[in-house]
Amino acid sequence: MSQDERAGWVNHPHLLCGRCQVPLQVRRVNVAYLGNAFPVELLRCPQCGLTFVPEELALGKMAEVEQALEDK
């Protein structure tokens, strides 16, 4: 995954949290699955903690990691 791809979901300065109506901020969060956690930077609401996972990430690398962890 290139830095450009990563920047595609991290650099969204105008995204607002739907509940709190405040700008999302880049935060370090732990993405965990099946006993393994990976600290990553994602956009997160500074008030309620809602984390924005872009569709291309959820259906791309994240799904690939999940599938690999599920395989015996």
Nearest to 64 by CA among 1, 6, 9: 1
Name the burial class of residue 45, with classes exposed (0-12), middle (13-18) and buried (19+) by CB atoms within 10 angstroms of its CB: buried
Binding residues with other proteins: total (CB under 8 A): 24
Q: Which is nearer to other proteins, 16 or 49 (CB)?
A: 49
Contact status: 64 vs other proteins (CB under 8 A): yes
Site for other proteins in 4-23 (CB under 8 A): 6
Residues of this chain that bind other proteins (CB under 8 A): 1, 3, 6, 30-41, 57, 61-62, 64-66, 68-69, 71
